A and B are shown apart, each in its own frame.
Chain A
């Protein structure tokens, strides 16, 4: 066991070097965007609540923000299908202005790493209390430092629990002139 204790370090270094070398090859890795699981969110009937959806762009890739700087670039967009009488709105984070090796003088507005899309959910008063699933797709188009990949759709799904609004506070009844002890 002791005789081989020195092997893993150079092997790991080598593996890391090879991984770096192969990462530079366009198409070696497939771009990915994944969504973190979202716990069921409680939303009150008649009120707007926000559900944060967290996404992660694979290392070495970027995707356009929702407001890319060129009309030809494909913005990241979330389309949701909500049950009737549940009104949804989507708020995108600001992208990061970054230049890339393929165009050092031009900045693109992109998402890299982790980003969060805020979804506002407002069940109308007519919605029956209970759990509802909201489904949709996140459309994105990814590039690395030398190539771009066709647009993709990531299925998105999360659950909300619609609850009744608490009853409005009642007016204080008239105070008894008597002192209760």
Chain B
């Protein structure tokens, strides 16, 4: 079969265009998954009031001035179970610098079961009993884990859906610790 160079060039151009479009779209989709309109990167993280497993009332705004790692999880989520021990270590490592990890259990399990699960993993940070309304405020958490990194100024630095590596989590923590630091220093 004779190949027409014009056709080959056209094909090459089409392939290049589709590759560029495809990867651009894939990146957009990855950023938009469960895309929370009000809490997009740079937006203020929606405040909430939830009960912790030990019966305390906890508000996100209680932690203003700290960097918050807000992790939505559930006892039935195996990938969540992988990253929780990392959060325990990172809370120890960065707690002194102003990091606060908060877990929100989006679970039908009883608080007692959630507490047992958290205790088995050695969780050293507050675990809050989630409500659908809070998930909705964060864009309707459609799958877990979902983690929001909130700067000291209360603004969302990053949001991550699905399990990521420990290194990526640590990088986001550093970004969250850095954001709003100047504002904090001025106060």
The interface of chain A, by Cβ under 8 A from chain B, is 3-7, 10-11, 14-15, 17-18, 21-22, 25-28, 72-74, 100, 102-103, 106, 108, 141, 143, 146-151
In the complex, the answer to whether A102 meets B79 with C-beta atoms within 8 Å is: yes
The number of residue pairs between A and B whose CB atoms lie closer than 8 Å in the complex comes to: 104
What would 19 A/B residue contacts be, using CB atoms closer than 8 Å?
A: A6-B3, A6-B7, A6-B8, A10-B15, A15-B18, A21-B26, A22-B25, A27-B34, A27-B143, A72-B75, A73-B78, A102-B79, A102-B163, A103-B78, A141-B76, A146-B163, A147-B163, A148-B80, A150-B74
A58 to chain B, nearest CB (A): 14
The interface of chain B, by Cβ under 8 A from chain A, is 1, 3-4, 7-8, 11, 14-15, 18-19, 22-23, 25-26, 29-30, 33-34, 74-82, 106, 108-109, 113, 117, 142-145, 161-163
Could you say which residues of chain B place their CB within 8 Å of the CB of A106? 78
Question: What residue of chain A has the Cβ atom nearest to residue B114's Cβ?
Answer: A72
In the complex, the answer to whether A143 meets B78 with C-beta atoms within 8 Å is: yes
In the complex, the answer to whether A103 meets B26 with C-beta atoms within 8 Å is: no
In the complex, the answer to whether B74 meets A148 with C-beta atoms within 8 Å is: yes
B45 to chain A, nearest CB (A): 20
Supplied contacts A7-B14, A141-B76, 11 more A-B pairs, CB within 8 Å: A10-B14, A17-B22, A21-B26, A22-B29, A26-B162, A27-B142, A102-B163, A108-B78, A147-B79, A147-B162, A148-B74
Could you say which residues of chain B place their CB within 8 Å of the CB of A149? 142-144
Given contacts A14-B15, A27-B33, A102-B82, contact A148 B22 (CB under 8 A): no
Given contacts A21-B26, A102-B79, A148-B78, contact A26 B7 (CB under 8 A): no
In the complex, the answer to whether A143 meets B26 with C-beta atoms within 8 Å is: no
Per the bound structure, the CA–CA distance linking A11 and B18 in Å amounts to 9
Given contacts A72-B109, A72-B113, A148-B79, contact A25 B18 (CB under 8 A): no
Per the bound structure, the CA–CA distance linking A10 and B16 in Å amounts to 11
Could you say which residues of chain A place their CB within 8 Å of the CB of B76? 72-74, 141, 148, 151
In the complex, the answer to whether B143 meets A22 with C-beta atoms within 8 Å is: no
Given contacts A25-B26, A72-B76, A73-B76, contact A10 B113 (CB under 8 A): no
Could you say which residues of chain A place their CB within 8 Å of the CB of B22? 14, 17-18, 21-22
A31 to chain B, nearest CB (A): 9
Could you say which residues of chain A place their CB within 8 Å of the CB of B15? 10-11, 14
Could you say which residues of chain A place their CB within 8 Å of the CB of B7? 3-4, 6-7
In the complex, the answer to whether A148 meets B144 with C-beta atoms within 8 Å is: yes
Question: What residue of chain A has the Cβ atom nearest to residue B7's Cβ?
Answer: A3
A138 to chain B, nearest CB (A): 16
The answer, among B1, B14, B33, for a CB contact under 8 Å with A11, is B14
In the complex, the answer to whether B4 meets A143 with C-beta atoms within 8 Å is: no
Could you say which residues of chain A place their CB within 8 Å of the CB of B143? 26-27, 147-150
A11 to chain B, nearest CB (A): 7
Report which residue of B8, B25, B143, B144 has the largest number of chain A beta carbons within 10 angstroms of its beta carbon. B143
In the complex, the answer to whether B33 meets A25 with C-beta atoms within 8 Å is: yes
In the complex, the answer to whether A26 meets B113 with C-beta atoms within 8 Å is: no
